[in-house]
């Protein structure tokens, strides 16, 4: 079985040199917590610039759906690049954009049919959804949830309610935004959430002024919190009652990560708008706004994007969908069960782990607190396992969907080794 390989200390000499150079040139606004300088990738494995090999359970923040540089995706990118790299879908037509739109309408079915607008990222997709919700309802107000992450452009950031550092210094943000508690966080029940919404409607905002409610069916950055039973269907009912649009942010949870094309399909709830990005093109920048046909009636010139729906990105997305159709979707569901079993087993053998949860390959486990979680992330990295945190004390398990059982067991073994050795570290000199 393949295991992490170390040719040097971590970070190695090449990584140290490159990081020192880049620290001088790159914006310091990004959180580069790990000294990883990736040189190449294959499946779930990353090789760094010193030849060290890491098992990647981050998938480039839940992006590399089909694994790093899947040959089928690479071939599609090469073929499309030879034919046409760019022509701007805002002004012209080309086939890959239409072919992908057709596929997305098939996989994100909506009553009355759906239409697609292409973007380049998650935040742009959310931005488009905000504009479409306001335009199509003629209402100004937007509702999102505590702990939500919807992106960092100013409209999306107004919905984001995750960490103060993401908002501090960037105001004023959109004024017409309210946040309500997400059920499952801090003991909040579904009833509590709807009580808060009722209160909001009674005291502050006429529901007839609300354009859309934005919800992550599984709150990602907020801690991989799974919508409790009854929550999304009740949200749908409230939206229907007041003519509010239900917008599902599936930027992280979509594109097969949960074993279904979109996560909200697990609850049999049909949103009015679905936002996709991240995993859609296995690593190429692409996003898509899928909306009910009846809603997407904005006139020419009202919204556009020079790069959105780029032909090469669309070709990569079509290849990604082909792989999902050819077994990857089912594989993700199956591997998700292996992950959960392994996490539950880890919980039995070490009390530092608790709260294992997940649907498909969008899973998480909790550590006692933020310092313990962050220490474990660093210790795992030094042992050759790349993981990301979520929320205040969770570790997210979001490997490429091509992950196999051995890789899952290896990842959990490394996590256990890391947590066990953390307890045995000699006391550090003050």
Ligand X SMILES: Cc1ncc(COP(=O)(O)O)c(C=O)c1O
**Helical (H) or strand (E) element with 364:** strand 362-366
Q: Which two tokens stand for residue 331?
A: 């594989």
CB of 288 to ligand X, least distance (A): 12
Q: Is 158 in the site for ligand X (CB under 6 A)?
A: no
CB of 112 to ligand X, least distance (A): 26
Q: Is 220 in the site for ligand X (CB under 6 A)?
A: yes
CB of 221 to ligand X, least distance (A): 5
Q: Is 123 in the site for ligand X (CB under 6 A)?
A: yes
- Per CB under 6 A, contacts with ligand X among 230-249 are 249
Q: Is 48 in the site for ligand X (CB under 6 A)?
A: no
Among 114, 119, 252, 305, binds ligand X (CB under 6 A): 252
Q: Is 221 in the site for ligand X (CB under 6 A)?
A: yes
Residue among 311, 305, 388, 265 at smallest CA distance from 128: 305
Q: Is 122 in the site for ligand X (CB under 6 A)?
A: yes
Q: What is the 3-class SS of 1-37, one letter each residue?
A: CCCCECCCCCCCHHHHHHHHHHHHHCCCCCCCCCCCC
Q: Which residues neighbour 294 within 8 Å (Cβ) at sequence distance 6 or greater?
A: 112
Task: Provide the 10 A C-beta neighbour count for residue 166.
Answer: 15
Among 247, 277, 316, 410, binds ligand X (CB under 6 A): 277
Candidates 78-86, 119-127, 204-212, 225-233; binding stretch for ligand X (CB under 6 A): 119-127
CB of 218 to ligand X, least distance (A): 9
Residue among 305, 325, 331, 274 at smallest CA distance from 116: 274
Residue 381 near residue 9 (C-beta atoms within 8 A): no
Q: Which two tokens stand for residue 3?
A: 């295991």
**What is the four-CA torsion angle of 29, 31, 37, 43, rounded to 10 degrees?**
-120
Residue 277 near residue 151 (C-beta atoms within 8 A): no
Q: Which residues neighbour 270 within 8 Å (Cβ) at sequence distance 6 or greater?
A: 109, 110, 111, 236, 264
CB of 251 to ligand X, least distance (A): 3
- Per CB under 6 A, contacts with ligand X among 293-332 are none
Q: Is 260 in the site for ligand X (CB under 6 A)?
A: no
CB of 3 to ligand X, least distance (A): 30
CB of 126 to ligand X, least distance (A): 6
CB of 250 to ligand X, least distance (A): 8
Distance CA 123, CA 95 (A): 25
CB of 120 to ligand X, least distance (A): 8
Distance CA 110, CA 25 (A): 46
Nearer to ligand X, 52 or 282 (CB): 282
Candidates 170-178, 190-198, 215-223, 328-336; binding stretch for ligand X (CB under 6 A): 215-223
Distance CA 240, CA 236 (A): 6
CB of 247 to ligand X, least distance (A): 11
Q: Is 271 in the site for ligand X (CB under 6 A)?
A: no
Q: Which two tokens stand for residue 214?
A: 């934005």
Q: Is 214 in the site for ligand X (CB under 6 A)?
A: no
Q: Is 216 in the site for ligand X (CB under 6 A)?
A: yes
Site string for ligand X, 169-208 (x = CB under 6 A): ----------------------------------------
Residue-level length of the chain:
430
Tell me phi and psi for residue 177, to 5 degrees: -135, 135
Q: Which two tokens stand for residue 88?
A: 């701007």
Residues binding ligand X: number (CB under 6 A): 15
Candidates 40-48, 118-126, 301-309, 340-348; binding stretch for ligand X (CB under 6 A): 118-126
Among 96, 151, 184, 283, binds ligand X (CB under 6 A): 151
Among 121, 136, 158, 262, binds ligand X (CB under 6 A): 121
Helix 71-83 to helix 311-323 angle (10° resolution) is: 150
> What residues make contact with ligand X under the rule CB under 6 A?
61, 121-123, 126, 149-151, 216, 220-221, 249, 251-252, 277
């Amino acid at each position: 079985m393949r295991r992490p390989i170390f040719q040097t200390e971590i970070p190695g000499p090449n990584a140290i040199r490159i990081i020192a150079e880049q620290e001088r040139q790159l914006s310091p606004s990004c959180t580069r917590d790990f000294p990883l300088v990736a040189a190449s990738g294959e499946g779930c494995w990353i090789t760094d610039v010193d030849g060290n090999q890491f098992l990647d359970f981050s998938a480039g923040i839940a992006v590399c759906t089909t694994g790093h540089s899947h040959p089928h995706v690479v071939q599609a990118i090469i073929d499309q690049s030879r034919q046409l790299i760019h022509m701007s879908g805002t002004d012209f037509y080309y086939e890959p954009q239409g072919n992908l739109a057709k596929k997305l309408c098939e996989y994100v079915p909506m009553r009355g049919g759906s239409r697609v607008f292409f973007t380049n990222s998650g935040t742009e997709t959310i931005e488009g959804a905000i504009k479409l919700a306001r335009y199509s309802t003629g209402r100004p107000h937007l509702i999102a949830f505590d702990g939500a992450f919807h992106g960092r452009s100013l409209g999306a950031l107004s919905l984001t309610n995750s960490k103060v550092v993401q908002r501090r210094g960037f105001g004023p943000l959109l004024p017409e935004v309210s946040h309500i508690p997400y059920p499952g966080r801090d003991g909040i029940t579904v009833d509590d959430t709807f009580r808060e919404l009722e209160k909001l409607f009674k005291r502050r905002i006429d529901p007839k002024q609300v354009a859309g409610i934005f919800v992550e069916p599984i709150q990602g950055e907020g801690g991989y919190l799974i919508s409790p039973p009854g929550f999304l269907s009740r949200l749908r009912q409230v939206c229907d009652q007041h003519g509010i649009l239900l917008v599902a942010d599936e930027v992280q949870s979509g594109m097969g990560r949960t074993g279904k094309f979109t996560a909200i399909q697990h609850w049999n709830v049909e949103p009015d708008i679905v936002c996709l990005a991240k995993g859609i093109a296995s690593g190429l920048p692409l996003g898509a706004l899928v909306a009910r046909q009846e809603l997407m009636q904005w006139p020419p010139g009202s919204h556009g994007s020079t790069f959105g729906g780029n032909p090469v990105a669309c070709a990569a997305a079509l290849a990604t969908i082909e792989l999902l159709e050819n077994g990857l979707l089912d594989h993700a569901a199956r591997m998700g069960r292996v992950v959960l079993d392994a996490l539950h087993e880890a919980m039995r053998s070490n009390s530092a782990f608790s709260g294992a949860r997940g649907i498909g390959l969008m899973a998480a486990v909790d550590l006692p607190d933020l310092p313990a979680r962050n220490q474990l992330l660093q210790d795992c990295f030094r042992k050759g396992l790349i993981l990301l945190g979520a929320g205040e004390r969770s570790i997210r398990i979001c490997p490429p969907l091509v992950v196999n059982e051995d890789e899952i067991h290896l990842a959990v073994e490394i996590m256990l080794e890391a947590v066990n050795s953390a307890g045995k570290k000699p006391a550090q000199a003050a």
